[in-house]
Chains A and B, each alone.
Chain A
Amino acid sequence: MNELLQGIAFLGGLSLVLAIVLVVANRKLSVYEDPRIEQVTDLLPGANCGACGMPGCRAFAEQVVAGKLQPGQCPVGGPETAITVADFLGIDAGSTERYVARLLCAGGCDVAVQIAEYDGYPSCRAAAAVTGGFKGCVFGCLGLADCEDVCDFDAITMMENGLPLVDADACTACGDCVRICPKGLFELIPISQHLIVQCKSLLAGDEAIELCAVACTGCGICAADAPEGLIEIINNLAVIDPDKRQLETEIATYRCPTGAITWIDKQQFADVTTRTQTVAR
């Protein structure tokens, strides 16, 4: 009986001491965290893709609550999420312009010259290391699907002509494809922008056309037809000034000899009917 009481007393005493330690620790060492961070995190898509520049959704939420970033800077969530978060916090959503990744190359294997056969490791980055790859145009898409592999949102599928097709609905503009492409062919462009130059070739005139039938030759017709200042020819390539986007007009595409400058409603390569899923490697 005595042993039993001793045991109860000892354990009870120990529990009391530990409980006091825990209470003191809780009082002294607790870190206050804004409860809104947790709630904002729950409102975000939770993709942890890093497209906002933060390591993950929670870090983004911390920055938003701290007022350092705006809800609209989460490209994955889109306007709805931005407005929800902004309403919740009672702040301005910021710019909620939706961006999509656009491929600035239309030189599929049907129109671009192939000068060599590549039988190495099937990756654009590996192929590009072998003197630029197997295409005549060293600026063009190699079509070995590094972007398809890296896309977390299954927004990229390879078409029959070897070019990647970005699904404008599924694309969240996370920027992974922009970073992986060894030729730097992807660009995040506002979905409301219709005028796009689908070429990166710095070659001029016949030199460019010899290698790809849809290359921008730098002829400057589009720049002449478009409102002043919208398009500029830099290094034999038509470049659209993003600040003058509101001036854009379809007229700029009418006289393009190669079709390098195009007018996109929403989906790039919408006229390509033979979309097929690539076979898994």
Chain B
Amino acid sequence: MEATPTVRKTFAHGIHPPDFKEETRSKPIRRFPFAPVMIVPLSQHIGKPAKPVVAEGQEVERGQLIAEPDGFVSVAMHAPASGIIRKIGLAPHQSGRMVESIFLQPFPASGQQVDPGTPCEVETASPKEIITAIQHAGIVGLGGAAFPTHVKLSIPEDKRIDTLIINGVECEPYLTTDHRVMLEQTGDIFTGIRYVLKATGAKRAIIGIEANKPDAALKLRRSIPEEMPVNVELVKVKYPQGAEKMLITALLGREVPSGGLPADVHVVVINVATAAEIGRLLPRGRGIIERVITITGPAISKKGNYLIPIGTPLRYALDQAGLHEDVSEVVLGGPMMGQAVSSLDIPITKGTSGIVAFTSAETNHRPEKIYPCIHCAYCVDACPLFLNPSRLGILAKQGEYERMAAEYHLMDCFECGSCSWVCPSNIPLVQYFRIAKGIIREKKAQS
């Protein structure tokens, strides 16, 4: 099974931002204390919010189900700590809306142990049962998009899956959560792969890892269980190698059609941390209540990878990690695709993969003036999807949103930000595209 390492595999276009991963890549995952009040939003995933099954004033135990999925594209929520439900009401959320949330006040002596639930055994469970178990464990894509994993694994009847790709690329600068998960939760990853292979009917799995994590690749390669059809492949260090379409192209040479899904080319891609959670939670019948998050950046004194209970307010997490006085910007996720936050009162959710804090020294020299497009085509050479960001940017400025979608494939853009990164005129291209996509989605929803 030991394949010779090739680092040639990659996709065309893309960029090479500095990765800033040195400071946290060797820091082992550490636990976090419970915050005085935890806020568990009912909508941490793409899809319909979960339905609370607890009442105000009720005592819950760590790991207890507090909200059940409401419909198919929805997942369950579990209590991150033992405590009392103080309130169910609106709370600020990363999306910028007020979202119905469960306020949980942990008991002072709330322990870390979780009672086991009904396990879902990989040998005996049917694919359907595994998918339901994943939904009830509340598992979503932990790479950042927070798309419910069970929806991704529910392959339509007319599609056939031959390959499962486990995404351990982690191409975002600063983030090292997947790296640590691969080193420290290796066994869980393979258990998870076993479940997902059975659920999707895929014949083999490939773990794709960026070449800057040779230790993780080696560890995984050495731990592949005897009979498992798993390959570990290194891919070139390039952004956005971790986007699922780019990873499929790099590993298999297949191109996902415009507007299509990986299932159209017989592939399912899941994040390595998601696989680890499936492998850790399903055999014990538990739900997801914490996740690994990299807290880093120049404004953090105790940079590291932390296992943080979901619902921990951002302010508390930053205080624990030692926030500098002159912090000027906090970004959830990585600096390329992550979002700056305007409020530190928002909670950490299942989709939060990293927290990067910058001081005024980094944010002050940001260029402000936007110059006209000089048609240098740097963005065209950077776009991993072979779109024409220059043309799209001009159309966005004119408000020609429908033409952008109809003639220039705007909706294929996954907002990696490579175009803005290379633009010598400082044109905020990816911001334009986000606005345009939002408007087009609203129009579609209306009609």
Note whether A and B form a binding pair.
Answer: yes
Query: Do A118 and B366 touch (CB < 8 A)?
Result: no
Alpha-carbon distance A125/B442, docked complex (angstroms): 13
Chain A 124-136 per-residue mask, 1 if CB under 8 angstroms from chain B, else 0: 0110111111111
Query: Do A132 and B434 touch (CB < 8 A)?
Result: no
Min distance, Cβ B318 to any Cβ of chain A, angstroms: 14
Residues of A within 8 A of B438 (CB): 125, 129, 182
Interface size class of B (residues with CB under 8 A): 20 to 34
Alpha-carbon distance A179/B428, docked complex (angstroms): 22
Size of chain A's interface in residues, with CB distance under 8 A? Answer: 26
B127 interfacial by beta-carbon distance below 8 Å: no
* Contact A131 to B434, CB < 8 A, known contacts A138-B92, A203-B90: no
B368 interfacial by beta-carbon distance below 8 Å: yes
CB within 8 Å of B: which A171-204 residues: 179-180, 182, 202-203
Alpha-carbon distance A203/B97, docked complex (angstroms): 12
B114 interfacial by beta-carbon distance below 8 Å: no
* Contact A131 to B368, CB < 8 A, known contacts A125-B435, A126-B434: no
Alpha-carbon distance A119/B432, docked complex (angstroms): 15
A120 interfacial by beta-carbon distance below 8 Å: yes
Alpha-carbon distance A119/B288, docked complex (angstroms): 36
Min distance, Cβ B429 to any Cβ of chain A, angstroms: 10
* Contact A203 to B96, CB < 8 A, known contacts A120-B431, A121-B431, A125-B438: no
Residue in B90, B93, B94, B366 with the greatest tally of chain A CB atoms within 10 Å: B90
Residues of A within 8 A of B95 (CB): 131-132
Residues of A within 8 A of B98 (CB): 138-139, 202-203
Q: Which residue of A lies closest to B96 (CB)?
A: A132
A123 interfacial by beta-carbon distance below 8 Å: yes
B39 interfacial by beta-carbon distance below 8 Å: no
Residues of B within 8 A of A202 (CB): 90, 98
Query: Do A133 and B428 touch (CB < 8 A)?
Result: no
B76 interfacial by beta-carbon distance below 8 Å: no
Task: List the interface of chain B (C-beta within 8 A of A).
Answer: 90, 92-98, 332, 339-343, 346, 363, 366, 368, 399, 428, 431-432, 434-435, 438-439, 442
> 19 A-B pairs, CB-CB below 8 angstroms?
A119-B363, A121-B428, A121-B431, A121-B432, A125-B435, A126-B428, A128-B96, A129-B339, A129-B435, A130-B341, A130-B342, A131-B342, A132-B97, A136-B343, A139-B98, A180-B439, A182-B438, A202-B90, A203-B90
